[in-house]
Amino acid sequence: MEEKPNYSYISQLSGGDKDFEEQLLDVVRLELPQEIENYKKHLQTKIFDRAADDVHKIKHKISILGLEKSYQVAIDHEDRLREEVLDEELYLKFEEILEAMMTFIKKA
């Protein structure tokens, strides 16, 4: 994965307000692990429409963490899941994105 999570969008939103940045990161730290867990559970049980809903929620965190190219992967993955299709390539790319995001928020 060539793209890495970053603070650029958070910095833009906050206008330099460090408290706001920390609050936003706290929300991501709180919600993202649960959303990923739900996504994986729904995939495992082949409830693709719910997995697509989970991807939709995670997409917001992808944009917050400045991952522009990854956002498109999430859109495509969500669309395929809504069609009841698990596209192996998109799934693997999305897994990489999730891993990168989790690593980033643990260090942030």
For the segment 69-95, what is each residue's pLDDT rounded down to a tens digit? 999 999 999 999 999 999 999 999 999
Which amino acid, residue 76? D
* % of the chain beyond a pLDDT of 90: 97
In CATH, what is the architecture of 8-107?
Up-down Bundle (1.20)
Contact 30, 107 (CB under 8 A): no
Instruction: Specify the pLDDT at position 12.
Output: 95
To the nearest whole number, what is the mean pLDDT of the chain? Answer: 96
| Other CB atoms within 10 A of residue 17 CB | 12
Segment 99-104 shows an average pLDDT of 97
Q: Give residue 75's Cα distance to chain centre.
A: 11
Instruction: Specify the pLDDT at position 26.
Output: 96
Contact 90, 98 (CB under 8 A): no
Instruction: Specify the pLDDT at position 39.
Output: 98
CA pair distance 80, 14, nearest whole angstrom: 34
| Other CB atoms within 10 A of residue 24 CB | 17
Domain parsing of the chain, residue ranges: 8-107
CA pair distance 101, 56, nearest whole angstrom: 15
Supply the pTM of this predicted model: 0.94
